Structure 1
């Protein structure tokens, strides 16, 4: 029996000695791979992404637009938001870009100006946490005391 197992390429633990077949990555990993530099992806994943980009040009275009938008938000690109929005009109992202179309001035300011609403959002989150912890326990006066004492 051992000779037969060895001839089949099975080791002592009963596993096949052959390499396992390649399994395509999950959707989150595919999204991350599509947004990364194609030259930096090696092996089977690189071949998969290259083939995916060739066979699904709309998907490749959407990934490229997402990368361009991320670069704009990080300040790595001086491309105007209006140019990006114009490029999305002929892509699968046209519905996504319909909302920001109305807020171009606000998006430009958010990218260009150094101010952030982060501190205010943090305070709102803290207050909501306190309120959730107290749900059904007491009225506004106790909530007020807890908020003022936690500062």
Structure 2
């Protein structure tokens, strides 16, 4: 099997990235104006782009459409809780084998 010259591969990659960029820029205004209507999702605009990875991404969005719409439209987030969980897990890993639970609890409360 012969390899394609690097310039040809690079050119094809560049063209694919240009198509992806134009598809995403066309739909970016629609994403920002989304207000809970799943029929307004701009995924149909991305069907015309000949990129298999983008088709897989769009398929995943369609499979989980209610969660995608809720994530884009609901104003509250569980980010602060996730941050606290991450901090506790980090401290627990740092304290592994060094001290018992009361010391770990104290370090979490002081952090």
What is the TM-score of this pair, normalised by structure 2?
0.61
Counterpart Cα distance in 2 of 1:63 and 1:81: 23
Structure 1 counterpart SS, 2:68: helix
Looking at secondary structure, tell me which structure has more helix per residue. 2
Shift of 1:115: 0.8
Structure 2 counterpart SS, 1:96: helix
- Match 1:95 to one of 35, 47, 56: 56
* Residue matched to 1:67: 25
Tell me the alpha carbon deviations over residues 48-67 of structure 1, each in whole angstroms, 9 at most, x when there is no partner: xxxx7xx72x4322112333
Structure number with higher relative contact order (C-alpha < 8 Å, ≥ 6 residues apart)? 2
5+ residue gaps, structure 1: 1-51
Counterpart Cα distance in 1 of 2:27 and 2:84: 29
Total equivalences in the alignment = 94
Shift of 1:94: 0.5
* Residue matched to 1:17: none
RMSD across aligned positions (CA): 3.0
* Residue matched to 1:86: 44
* Residue matched to 1:124: 85
The 1:147/1:64 distance shift into structure 2, 3 A limit, reads: same
Counterpart Cα distance in 1 of 2:102 and 2:26: 50
What is the TM-score of this pair, normalised by structure 1?
0.48
Structure 2 counterpart SS, 1:89: helix
* Greater mean deviation of Cα atoms: 78-87 or 117-126: 78-87
The 1:131/1:70 distance shift into structure 2, 3 A limit, reads: farther
